[in-house]
Amino acid sequence: MALRLGDVCTKIGSGATPRGGSDVYVSSGVALIRSQNVYNHGFHREGLAYLGETHAAELTGVEVRAGDVLLNITGDSVARCCRAPADVLPARVNQHVAIIRPDPELLDPQYLHYYLISPFKQAEMLSMAGGGGTRNALTKGMIEGYEIPAPDIDEQRAIAGVLGALDDKIEQNRRTSAALERLARAIFRAWFVDFEPVKAKAAGTASFPSMPQPEFDALPTRLVDSPLGPMPVGWEAGKLGDIAGERRETVDPSEVEPTTPYIGLEHMPRRCISLTEWEHAGKVTSGKARFRAGQILFGKLRPYFHKVGIAPLDGVCSTDIVVIEPKSREWFGLTLGHASSDDFVAHTNACSTGTKMPRTNWRDMARYVIAVPPDTVARAFNDLVSAMTTLLVSAIFESRKLAQLRDYLLPKLISGEVRVRDTEPAVERACAEQWA
């Protein structure tokens, strides 16, 4: 049975731009979802805009509700599709995104989402979007005319449930990784920026959360003046270049195997050290830089984008990425803490050259002033951070395997080639696995 979207949806329509455009965006409020937030298999929070109550009220006609399917209808991202997570609602969409709101008794929203992101439907929508004019676009009439092959509603929900279980596990991994990163940032700031353990010991506290007791017992009990301001007695004012260096290993495209993982700036999210995306280097036509698993990658083009992450595997990257390596393993945690901090990113931005496309460089990055602790403190922090980053990398590879399983099952379930009952054991095993 096929269902025509125009017959089974209570709303199909694009959003709108708030009066005043981006000038009315605020730091928090009602989310305004734009095409850059809508990706197949996931909603991206990076770049999410917000509106105040007044401007949001002017766009009540384009309010996103639970269960809505969002479809990009213009530009290079046309045909990308997702559902907004519950924690983003209430929300609005701009004119580049369409809301599709099916009657849930006739067409399951999650099933519809999976159908729209299936390879065959994506190819069809991309072909339709490029069929006329100079700009890729999908019209309301096109969307209303889509015929969705749909079994009965119970089977739709079962298919959506199997695929959704895999996506839920991927999202759980993402959330856990984000929580670990927040924890690592908080510990780094407490130990090496605010010097909270030293202050706590000076106040008579016998221990400090997150710091091993031997290292706490060896801490001084007072701060002294330094070029950085007050700093623990016995610590030194140094520079990032004292504990880390740039690893420059350029390679010619002809020397790179086509299957070599390639990371470009486009693969690096903002303010997130988990690098979950990469592609193969087969399309590489210019010189690249080689990196090794565990090294730190820093986007030097427009450094204010705050693109810093840990390489999860060996590969090559854009030459607009600085490959950073600690001078010894015990300095990895401290190097990562500084390189991924807001203060360091602000420093690189201030030192960058170029107006439209500012770039930083390792020479200026290395001059960043830091408090250098005793080796024992650096080693204790590195032990904590290394354990966390090991979990982050394990989560990356687990989520990629889950995504591969989902993408394999998607067309087979929707076409009826594979039945839900045949997939459930494999999906249950995959979702039950823990990070290595």
pLDDT band at 436 (very low <50, low <70, confident <90, very high): very low
Tokens of 351: 């030192």
Q: What is the pLDDT of residue 134?
A: 60
Query: What is the H or E stretch that residue 42 is in?
Result: strand 42-43
State the span(s) of the chain assigned CATH 3.90.220.20.
Answer: 2-150, 241-372
For residue 135, pLDDT beyond 80: no
Q: How far apart are CA 349 and CA 90, in angstroms?
A: 34
pLDDT, average across residues 218-240: 94
- Residue 132: pLDDT over 60: no
CATH of domain 2-150: 3.90.220.20
In this predicted structure, the answer to whether residue 435 has a pLDDT above a threshold of 80 is no
325 within 8 A of 404, measured Cβ to Cβ: no
Residue 19 has pLDDT above 50, yes or no: yes
Q: Give start-end residues of each CATH 1.10.287.1120 domain in the chain.
A: 151-235+373-436
What class is the 151-235+373-436 domain? mainly alpha
**What pLDDT, in 10s, does the model give residues 287-333?**
899 999 999 999 999 999 999 999 999 999 999 999 999 999 999 99
Closest by Cα among 142, 149, 73 to 107: 149
Given a cut of 80, whether residue 180 has pLDDT beyond it is: yes
Tens of pLDDT, residue by residue over 36-60, are 999 997 898 888 999 999 999 999 8
Task: Indicate the average pLDDT of the chain.
Answer: 93
Per DSSP, the residues of 392-411 read HHHHHHHHHHHHHHHHHHHH
> Could you tell me the pTM of the whole model?
0.86
CATH superfamily of 241-372: DNA methylase specificity domains (3.90.220.20)
Across-strand partners of 280? 261
State mean pLDDT over 168-178: 93
Which tens digits make up the pLDDT trace of 385-402? Answer: 999 999 999 999 999 999
